[in-house]
Amino acid sequence: MNGPLVIAIDGPSAAGKGTLARRLAAHFQLPHLDTGLLYRAVGLKAEKSGRPAGEIAISLQLSDLADPDLRTDRAGQAASKVAALPEIRANLLKFQKKFASQTSGAVLDGRDIGTVICPDAPVKLFVTASSDARAERRYQELRALGLDTIKPRVLAEMAERDRRDSERAAAPLRAAPDAFLLDTSDMDADAAFAAALAFIERKGFRSSGP
């Protein structure tokens, strides 16, 4: 008999984690937490207000996650800087663990979900794609948000953030040893969802919905 379905999704930026997480959450009727938003909110608020990031992380409110500026590259860069600080990670740990331990189960996506936040999750996915595919997706995403940018800049900013996320000492981006590796370079969102779903069903989990 399986316990609650907790789906831990990690991977570098613009690999398709967010879309996959939302679709799996809808399919299995689970609550979803985009943990990147927590780091984005702390980083951006610290930059805008000049207040210490540690203080902001402790008192973070759900309403802080609704700031439309959180999807910008400025917020992404600010996030990956505060995310390297062990104090910030520690301050955000309890909230994420609590979210993951709901009796319903949950879907969380980020960088350290399968390794630090939910090391016992029954389902771990590590989603990757080539740098080119990821830069193209992020570029289209930013354009769709009406943000003016050029592709070489998107590629450079992504590479800088990936390097910072992978090389930091505190919870670096790593695939958990038992994670299912999903390379979405040549997959659209439907194909990535189908591959992830097949893996989860092989583990014995089925949607209880209609």
Partnered with residue 33 across adjacent β-strands are: 108
Binding of ligand CDP at residue 36 (CB under 6 A)? yes
- Binding segment (CB under 6 A) for ligand CDP, from list 60-68, 105-113, 176-184, 188-196: 105-113
Closest CA relative to residue 78, chosen from 103, 107, 56:
56
Question: Which CB atom, from 26 or from 65, has the smaller least distance to ligand CDP?
Answer: 65
Question: Which CB atom, from 135 or from 200, has the smaller least distance to ligand CDP?
Answer: 135
Binding of ligand CDP at residue 83 (CB under 6 A)? yes
Helix intervals (H) in the chain? 17-28, 36-49, 53-58, 73-82, 86-100, 131-144, 151-167, 189-202
Size of the site for ligand CDP (CB under 6 A): 15
Q: Give the three-class secondary structure for 204.
A: coil
Tokens of 210: 């209609």
Which residues in 161-180 contact ligand CDP (CB under 6 A)? 161, 165
Q: Which residue ranges make up the site for ligand CDP (CB under 6 A)?
A: 13-14, 35-36, 39-40, 76, 79-80, 83, 110-112, 161, 165
